[in-house]
Amino acid sequence: MKLELAQEVIACLPKGRTLFHYSKDDYAFLLLHLLSRTEDRIHQLRKSPSGKLLQKPSLRTHLASCPDGRVDLSVIPRQQYLREGRSYRLSLDVWGNEVRDWRYNQVSRKGVSLVLQLNLSLSHYRKLARCVDLENADPFYVMDHPAREGKFPTLAWCRLDFDLESGEALIEEVQSDLVREMREVVKVARQSREAGEKDFRMYGAEFTTERLIGFWEEDFSRHEKTWHEAVLSAALVFLVEELGLRKVFYHTYETGCFLKGIDREPPPRSLYTSLPKRFCFQQTREVPTFLSSERSWQRRMAASRRPLEFFQISL
C-alpha cells in the first residue's frame, strides 16, 4: 500500500493504550462474533467452512443456550479469557518504503505494510527484566524487523496490506522473534544449570540462569503456545471492526515465499498452512484485486513455477 494510506490510518485511530486479552482458543469466540453478523443461523454455519468452530466444547455449551436456532451474541462471550489468559498491548507501525529496493522488505507489491504489533504488558516485562538487564540493551530486539523494544517489547506482529476501495486485505506475515529467541536462550540456560553456572552470556547480555528458567516455565511458555492465535485474532478484529474490511486473504507458504522473494531462511511452514486452516480460511486461486491490478502481475504469474494460491475468508 502507499505510505500515505498507512500513515493516515494510524493518524485516524484513537491514541493511547489499547489492550487485547487472549486465552487459548479464544479465536473461535472472536470468529463466531464476526461471522454471525452475516449468517446467524446455526445450521447454516455448521454446513459452512466455519462449521468446525461450532464443534469446540467450550462453544457448544454456549450455543445450546441460543434460542430459535440462531446465534445469540448476548449469551456467547466475545472471549473466554480464562484464568490462564494474558493481556497484551496493541500498537501500529509502518514497515518498508516505496523506493526501488522494496523487495528487500518482503512485501508482495511495491509499497509498505501496516504492522499490528502484539506487545507484552508491563508486568510481563518486569518479570523478564528480573532475568536479564534490559536497561542498557534489549538482547531480543532485531533492528531490521518491525518490532518494538523498551517496556512493552513486541511479542509478535502481523504485517498487513489492504485496499479500502475493494474492501480486501492480505495477511503478509505473522512472526515472533521473541518466542524463537527465548527458546534458544532457555536451551542454553538449562545447559548452564547442568554445568552449575549461576549466569551466562548470550546475545550480548548476561542472564540469571534459575530466574530465566523459572520465567519460562511459570509464565512465558504460555505465550509460546498461543502467540500465533493471539496476533492473528487481533489482526482480524482490527481489519473488520476498525477498517471495515471483511474479505481477508492470507499467503500460502509457496505463494508467500515467491511473491516476497524469500529464497533463504523461509518462515515456519505451519504459520502458512495449519494456522490459517485453524481460522477457517479456505484455499483459493482467487487473487486480491489490488495485486492482480498491478502492472507487473501477469509477468510475475508467468515467472511462477506453480499456480499462485491464497487462503481466504469472508467475515
Taking 70 as the pLDDT cut, the residues of the chain under it are 81-84, 98-100, 136
pLDDT of residue 83: 62
CA dist 256 to 64, 249, 262, 293, 298, Å? 40, 11, 8, 18, 17
Q: Give the span between the Cα atoms of 116 and 243, in whole angstroms.
A: 13
Q: Taking the complete model, does pTM exceed 0.85, yes or no?
A: yes
Query: In the chain, where are the structural domains located?
Result: 3-24+83-314, 26-69
Q: How far apart are CA 107 and CA 89, in angstroms?
A: 25
Residues 209 and 191: their CA atoms lie apart, in Å, by 9
User: Running DSSP on this structure, what letter comes out for residue 101?
Assistant: G
Dist CA 191 CA 186 (whole Å): 9
Nearest in space to 155 (alpha carbons), one of 174, 169, 129: 174
Q: Which residues pair with 157 in a beta bridge?
A: 117, 175
Cα separation of 240 and 157, whole Å?
A: 17
The pLDDT value recorded for residue 81 is 65
pLDDT at 165: 95
Can you give the pLDDT at residue 142?
78
Q: Rounded distance, CA 91 to CA 113, Å?
A: 14
> Using CA atoms, how far apart are residues 51 and 43, in angstroms rounded to an integer?
9
pLDDT at residue 247, rounded to an integer: 97
Rounded Cα distance, 121 and 61, in Å: 31
Specify the pLDDT at position 17.
87
287 CB-side CA count, 13 A? 17
- Helix extents (H) in 157-273: 177-194, 209-215, 221-237, 253-259
Residues 6 or more apart whose CB falls under 8 angstroms from that of 260 comprise 103, 106, 107, 108, 172, 173, 251
Q: 26-35 vs 221-237: helix axis angle to the nearest 10?
A: 10
Q: At what angle do helices 177-194 and 221-237 cross, to 10 degrees?
A: 180
C-beta separation of 227 from 179 below 8 A: yes
Rounded CA-CA distance 26/240 in Å is 17
